[in-house]
Structure 1
Amino acid sequence: MSSPLVVVALVQAKPGHETALVKAQAELVAIARVQPGCLSYELHESISEPGKVVFFERWRDRVSWERHMRSPHMDAFRANAGHLIGAFELLHLHQVA
């Protein structure tokens, strides 16, 4: 059996949109946590840089994560809040120790 897929998303809001973006991102958490294959889904905001967030996600496998990314709730997020994102980096990881 393969190890779970770990996803880390680093996101920075555009200046002036920090509160709105974090609110929209926070709304994703409860929805994502009940998606098939989601093992954990957490959102953390920087203490020193409002609007800079990190998602820590664990998925049973890549297929589960891809299904989540193609879901209606992610389409709605991108349509409603995607324009608030200033910078984005996505890491796909597997635990080695």
Structure 2
Amino acid sequence: MSTDLVIVALVQAKPGQEKALVQAQSELVQVVRKQRGCISYELHEAIDQPGKVVFFERWLDRTSWERHMRGAHMDAFRASASPLIGAVELLQLSQVA
């Protein structure tokens, strides 16, 4: 099995903040995909629920993901996007089959 780290982040925008949050997240994607250790970083929005988004992330290892989470780009994103976010669920996964 793979030793990389898979992250699934489920995010719900606050009412009325759907477009602003998706825009901020889309900008974040462009930065993160260039980071060392990022294998893939995808943002998807629910077709029938605007503002409900899912990040699918694959990282070379936990160290790469932790470096990403501590980065200045994430500090800036959290500062600007936190008021737009209603709920977050974060799953850290390893492939088993």
**How would you bin the TM-score normalised by the shorter chain?**
over 0.9
| 1:87 maps to 2:61 | no
Distance 1:34 1:19 in 2: 24
Distance 2:48 2:21 in 1: 17
Runs ≥4 residues deviating over 6 A: none
Q: TM-score, normalised by structure 2?
A: 0.97
Distance 1:27 1:42 in 2: 12
**Superposed CA offset, 1:60-92 (max 9, x none):** 011100100111111000011111100100000
Return 5+ residue gaps in structure 1 as ranges. none
Letter in 1 for 2:40: S
**Aligned-pair distance for 1:30?**
1.2
Q: Secondary structure at the match of 1:65?
A: helix
Q: Secondary structure at the match of 2:12?
A: strand
| 1:24 maps to 2:24 | yes
Return 5+ residue gaps in structure 2 as ranges. none
Q: TM-score, normalised by structure 1?
A: 0.97
CA RMSD, Structure 1 to Structure 2 (Å): 1.2
| 1:10 maps to 2:16 | no
Letter in 2 for 1:30: Q
Letter in 1 for 2:94: H
State the percentage of identical aligned residues: 73
Distance 1:83 1:8 in 2: 21
